[in-house]
Structure 1
Amino acid sequence: MALFELVIALLLIGALLAAWSSRVGLPYPALLALAGSAAAFIPGIPIMALDPRLALVLFVAPTLLDSAYDASPRDIRANWLPISALAVIVVLLTVIAVAWVGHAMVPGMPWAAAVALGAIVAPSDASAATAILRYLRPPHRLLVIIQGESLLNDAVSLIIYRIAVTAAVTGGSVGWTVMPQFLFTVGGGGLLGWTLARLLLMTPTHRLEIPIAVLVQFLSTFAVWLLADRLGVSAIITVVVYAVVIARHVPLRDGARRRIASYAVWDVAVFVLNVLAFLLIGLQLRAIVSRMSGQIALYVEVAGVVLLVVILVRLVWVMGYNAILRWALHRLGPRSGRQPARPTAGGGLIIAWCGMRGIVTLATALALPDTFIDRDIIIFCALSVVLGTLMLQGMTLRPLMQRLRLPEDNLVQEETVLARRETAQAAVAFLRNVTVSDNAALLLDEYATRAEGVAQLDGREDTLAGLQGKAVVVQRQRLAVLRRDGVIGDDAFHAIEEELDIIELTADPRIRATAAPLPHVD
């Protein structure tokens, strides 16, 4: 009963802090971690011990799938070079620098444990940064790079983490087995994710009742992660590929009611998991402090240096890379074809300052075996890096963004307008082929107005439900083609998808569209 009461209290505190953080413009994960750290020293508060094997799959798998589902492959491909550099090179440089610091400053820390520390604090978390940036409307390219990086850097750091933990526990050496193992885990994870997504798409889950369908979504997410983990491939890459493939096809077969219910449940579930993760890591602090045995100064010193190294490595790389890229574009000129927005010094500074650490760092720290060497100081450093980056960078990101005054980027808005017009024109073309009637003429006028961008489509009574349902089907087909052909990105796709869901829900639920099934769109 005490454990249940504590969980309820933590969730309530998390909800209140998240609501308050949105008003003051602070990242709520920072407040959650601080609250958990403070609560750890309240007399009578029990320490919630979490099974290390459970931490990654419970906290990372759902949040990662949620992020990957909304990712835009088109935009990621257009910015693959900076995303790859951040996800691979910056992670490797951070691991090397932090491992050197840990090995040098902590007496007796073996290289394997030092590398594990570096892998834990290396990956950045885009959730805190994007939560702040979305209100400030930064250039779309910045958000794409930050979000794309967070999908891939977790995989790189987690592979290094597992190799280091295995070496530390077994006492073995790594040697030349790293590269083949890296290729196997990444390539195998991608193949497994694609295969599992195709298998799921072959099953008639869209015919299930909404509660059962949402439950299947959650269970399949954990099943995908656990299967990848058992097969020895990258669970993160598997989940990312699985989510991206699912996102290409599921919107074509799920109705508005199912999608809206699913999105609502996922939003709540991801928020709950974030709350528990950030508060739980804070509650570990009291046990760690009690075991310091006069080493508080060493712990604080090492954590401070690791925090500084994490921030500087990213800052130096991003600004140096950004300067070289701008020089190359100035001297050589842009390549032919569609190009993303040109990099700027201000944009590079924002990307460099969006290196907040979050749930992956916390989960991998908690996932260390209880008997792992120097586990306490590694967890203390992980918590310090998460708190330090969220407070220092998260609290200053908004004023920095406002001071830089980056040029506005209306790419998503323009693509949304384009998609709205194209889908409405598809509905107009469909309605013009319908037998002339008062209802068809009325609905045709409304979609013609929508296509001209003058007004939004209003809901009608049940006499228009059949035509309206058919028109929505045609619009979804056109919207899927626009995304498939790269005319619009996923942000514009989801914006129009939400509008079509609202339109569909205005129809009488007793009347179903009798249009032909949606075509397969790859």
Structure 2
Amino acid sequence: MELPLVALLAGSFAVTVLARRTGVSAPLLLVVVGLALSFVPGVPDYALDPELILTLVLPPLLYSAALDSSYLRLRANLRPIGLLALGAVLLTTVAVGLAAWWLVPGLPLASALVLGAVVAPPDAVAATAVGRRLGLPRRVMTILGGESLVNDATALTAYRVAVAVAAGAGYGIAQGLGVFVLAAAGGAAIGWALGWLVDRIRRLLHDGVLESAMGLLVPFVGFVVAEEVHASGVLAVVLAGLYLGHRSPAADPVARLQDRAVWQAADTVLEATVFALIGLQLRAVVEGVGPSVWGMTAVGLVLVLVALVARVAFVFPTTYLRPLARRRADWESPSWRHLAVVSWAGMRGVVSLAAAAGIPLTTLDGDPFPGRAEVVYLAFVVTVGTLLLHGLTLPALIRRLGVRGTESSADALAEAQAQTDAGTAAVARLEALDDGDPLHAQTVTELRSRIEARTNAAWERLGGPIAGGGETPSAVYRRLRRAMLEAEREVFVRYRDQRRIDDEVFRRVQHEMDLEEVTLLRE
């Protein structure tokens, strides 16, 4: 199995590189390539392991997204995020479940609702990737990202209840709702407690490497502990990530730099792998339904339409039919164009397929789980169908509606003002610490110049290009300093190759120069 796994990782990475170079949506291209390869002779059978996906892939992806999310923006948009993550998922569960029950002869209602729960949560990775590339407004991105953090918890909890009913556990409606509420509350509590504990521990460590290493454990610990007590592992991971992301200024700066690089690289590999796996499932799921594949495909396409209509039918009414009694005096109705983009960002992802693959083979009585093969295949059709439909049309919709963010100017102005105030505070602290020693005068002058340069650079970004194509003083500084760093690096490389300095010395100096160069690139 080692060689097929390496081939999967290397192949999905190569497709991701191609997608980035050509400007194509990476998730979409990965799925299409996977579909094309699924029936090629000699391609291994990449069976989807639900435990592997839900325990080792989903937690780090959720945790990384939560770390990078804004707790303040999520709180400000809590209502639309909550409505989508809870209401839209439950409505889609019921709508798709009832449609499948009606369209598939002999499929029990409980099994149909299992299918509804499986395909209910959109995966916002593809949608946010498109939105980031096309410059969607920040509020739209916050809503889509916030929904994707929480909707898996709603869907997986509903899925757990529906599977229990279909397997003969004897759940009633009240008991099912109780399980749902307890799982959500327990997951949120565990996540908050874990985030609080890790934050306290890292303040005691004072070691960036150890803090970063501990952060790698958080998503897995949170997910497994919550699932062990039948709480929502998804909510546990998300709450821990949001807490630690908001408290990140208290962490060691080395840990922050390492965390950003590590999680960005991990996200790239994991997302590429899971989207490739989606396409590679085609052969296995087709074999599962046998001769009825064309009829099931037609049903699946109808369910794609049902899921689409359910999301659109939920987004617009819940926004425009908001009870008048609850409206604030300053409440402003969102643009219908923004709502159209949110309602159309309904791609499903690997969580749906993992949940479908995790349906038990038998009921509690030992009988075959009713309609399992049909549910798995229909989940595949809906997942791939929504990825292809929305992935191919969402960019065109965004461009056609002219939905673009306008925050860049306001961000630049706010940053410049904050940098000015920060520079004033830094100079005041420098003056308080200056002992007046003539030997320190040059150092104090250099520090003052550095603060002035950073402040000037922030204001220069507001001014746009210089007339005649000239460079701003900050741009000249960055260009010249990077050239100087390159010259310094060449000397250290030559000294290392001539064995005049040890590799350990070289790596330490190179790290210091890299940090400065990254800062110059940011400025």
Interval containing the TM-score (normalised by the shorter chain): 0.7 to 0.9
Bigger shift: 313-322 or 78-87? 313-322
The answer to whether the Cα contact below 8 Å between 2:111 and 2:371 also exists between their aligned partners in 1 is yes
Q: State the secondary structure of the residue aligned to 1:95.
A: helix
The answer to whether the Cα contact below 8 Å between 1:425 and 1:451 also exists between their aligned partners in 2 is no
Which whole-Å CA distance do the structure 2 matches of 1:346 and 1:51 have between them?
Answer: 39
Which whole-Å CA distance do the structure 1 matches of 2:16 and 2:90 have between them?
Answer: 33
**1:33 aligned residue:** 31
Which one of the candidate residues 161, 169, 172 is aligned to 1:174? 172
Say whether 1:312 aligns with 2:309.
Answer: yes
Q: Taking structure 1 as reference, are residues 222 and 445 closer, same or farther at Cα in structure 2, changes over 3 Å only? A: same
With the length of structure 1 as denominator, give the TM-score of the two structures. 0.80
Residues 301-332 of structure 1, C-alpha deviations (whole Å, 9 max, x = no match):
1211111111111112223334445x969xx9
The answer to whether the Cα contact below 8 Å between 1:420 and 1:451 also exists between their aligned partners in 2 is yes
The answer to whether the Cα contact below 8 Å between 1:354 and 1:393 also exists between their aligned partners in 2 is yes
**2:150 aligned residue:** 152
**2:516 aligned residue:** 506
**2:487 aligned residue:** none
The answer to whether the Cα contact below 8 Å between 1:353 and 1:393 also exists between their aligned partners in 2 is yes
The one-letter amino acid of 2:118's match is: I
Residues 424-435 of structure 1: pairs in structure 2 closer than 5 A: 424-435=423-434
The answer to whether the Cα contact below 8 Å between 2:66 and 2:238 also exists between their aligned partners in 1 is yes
* Structure 1 residue 352: Cα displacement: 0.9
* Structure 1 residue 193: Cα displacement: 1.0
Which one of the candidate residues 241, 244, 247 is aligned to 2:242? 244
The answer to whether the Cα contact below 8 Å between 1:225 and 1:238 also exists between their aligned partners in 2 is yes
Which whole-Å CA distance do the structure 2 matches of 1:333 and 1:177 have between them?
Answer: 34
* Structure 1 residue 427: Cα displacement: 1.9
The answer to whether the Cα contact below 8 Å between 1:422 and 1:451 also exists between their aligned partners in 2 is no
Q: Taking structure 1 as reference, are residues 247 and 263 closer, same or farther at Cα in structure 2, changes over 3 Å only? A: same
**2:496 aligned residue:** none
Say whether 1:383 aligns with 2:380.
Answer: yes
Say whether 1:346 aligns with 2:350.
Answer: no
Residues 41-440 of structure 1: pairs in structure 2 closer than 5 A: 41-204=39-202, 207=205, 213-255=211-253, 257-324=254-321, 335-336=329-330, 342-371=333-362, 372-406=369-403, 408-410=405-407, 411-435=410-434, 436=436, 437-440=441-444
Which whole-Å CA distance do the structure 2 matches of 1:89 and 1:62 have between them?
Answer: 26
Q: Taking structure 1 as reference, are residues 203 and 334 closer, same or farther at Cα in structure 2, changes over 3 Å only? A: closer
* Structure 1 residue 116: Cα displacement: 1.3
Which whole-Å CA distance do the structure 1 matches of 2:208 and 2:405 have between them?
Answer: 40
Q: Taking structure 1 as reference, are residues 202 and 5 closer, same or farther at Cα in structure 2, changes over 3 Å only? A: same
Structure 1 residues without counterparts, runs of 5 or longer:
462-500, 508-522
Which whole-Å CA distance do the structure 2 matches of 1:39 and 1:229 have between them?
Answer: 35
Bigger shift: 165-174 or 294-303? 165-174
Q: Taking structure 1 as reference, are residues 133 and 502 closer, same or farther at Cα in structure 2, changes over 3 Å only? A: farther
* Structure 1 residue 422: Cα displacement: 3.6
The answer to whether the Cα contact below 8 Å between 2:53 and 2:351 also exists between their aligned partners in 1 is no
Q: State the secondary structure of the residue aligned to 2:65.
A: helix
Which whole-Å CA distance do the structure 1 matches of 2:68 and 2:372 have between them?
Answer: 35
The one-letter amino acid of 1:234's match is: S
The Cα RMSD (Å) is: 3.0
Q: Taking structure 1 as reference, are residues 8 and 415 closer, same or farther at Cα in structure 2, changes over 3 Å only? A: farther
The answer to whether the Cα contact below 8 Å between 1:76 and 1:148 also exists between their aligned partners in 2 is yes
Q: Taking structure 1 as reference, are residues 23 and 353 closer, same or farther at Cα in structure 2, changes over 3 Å only? A: farther
Q: State the secondary structure of the residue aligned to 2:289.
A: coil
Which one of the candidate residues 444, 451, 454 is aligned to 1:450? 454
Which whole-Å CA distance do the structure 1 matches of 2:110 and 2:411 have between them?
Answer: 45
The answer to whether the Cα contact below 8 Å between 2:77 and 2:143 also exists between their aligned partners in 1 is yes
Which whole-Å CA distance do the structure 1 matches of 2:278 and 2:198 have between them?
Answer: 34
Which whole-Å CA distance do the structure 2 matches of 1:381 and 1:79 have between them?
Answer: 33
Q: Percent identity, please.
A: 32
The one-letter amino acid of 1:335's match is: A
**2:366 aligned residue:** none
The answer to whether the Cα contact below 8 Å between 1:140 and 1:412 also exists between their aligned partners in 2 is no
The answer to whether the Cα contact below 8 Å between 1:189 and 1:235 also exists between their aligned partners in 2 is yes
**1:516 aligned residue:** none
* Structure 1 residue 408: Cα displacement: 3.9
Say whether 1:441 aligns with 2:438.
Answer: no
With the length of structure 2 as denominator, give the TM-score of the two structures. 0.80
The one-letter amino acid of 2:306's match is: V
The one-letter amino acid of 1:185's match is: A
Residues 375-423 of structure 1, C-alpha deviations (whole Å, 9 max, x = no match):
3322222222222222211222222212212364215444444443343
* Structure 1 residue 27: Cα displacement: 2.3
Which whole-Å CA distance do the structure 1 matches of 2:74 and 2:425 have between them?
Answer: 28
**1:487 aligned residue:** none
Q: Taking structure 1 as reference, are residues 292 and 406 closer, same or farther at Cα in structure 2, changes over 3 Å only? A: closer
Q: State the secondary structure of the residue aligned to 1:134.
A: helix
Residues 91-116 of structure 1, C-alpha deviations (whole Å, 9 max, x = no match):
11100110001111222222221111
Q: State the secondary structure of the residue aligned to 1:294.
A: helix
Structure 2 residues without counterparts, runs of 5 or longer:
363-368, 461-473, 482-510, 518-523
Bigger shift: 161-170 or 364-373? 364-373
The answer to whether the Cα contact below 8 Å between 1:155 and 1:236 also exists between their aligned partners in 2 is yes
* Structure 1 residue 85: Cα displacement: 1.5
The answer to whether the Cα contact below 8 Å between 1:59 and 1:359 also exists between their aligned partners in 2 is no
Q: State the secondary structure of the residue aligned to 2:433.
A: coil
The answer to whether the Cα contact below 8 Å between 2:26 and 2:272 also exists between their aligned partners in 1 is no
The one-letter amino acid of 1:55's match is: I
**1:520 aligned residue:** none
The answer to whether the Cα contact below 8 Å between 1:142 and 1:347 also exists between their aligned partners in 2 is yes
* Structure 1 residue 368: Cα displacement: 2.4
The one-letter amino acid of 1:386's match is: T
* Structure 1 residue 363: Cα displacement: 2.6
Q: State the secondary structure of the residue aligned to 1:49.
A: coil
Residues 448-497 of structure 1, C-alpha deviations (whole Å, 9 max, x = no match):
34335346697999xxxxxxxxxxxxxxxxxxxxxxxxxxxxxxxxxxxx
More helix per residue: 2
* Structure 1 residue 49: Cα displacement: 3.0
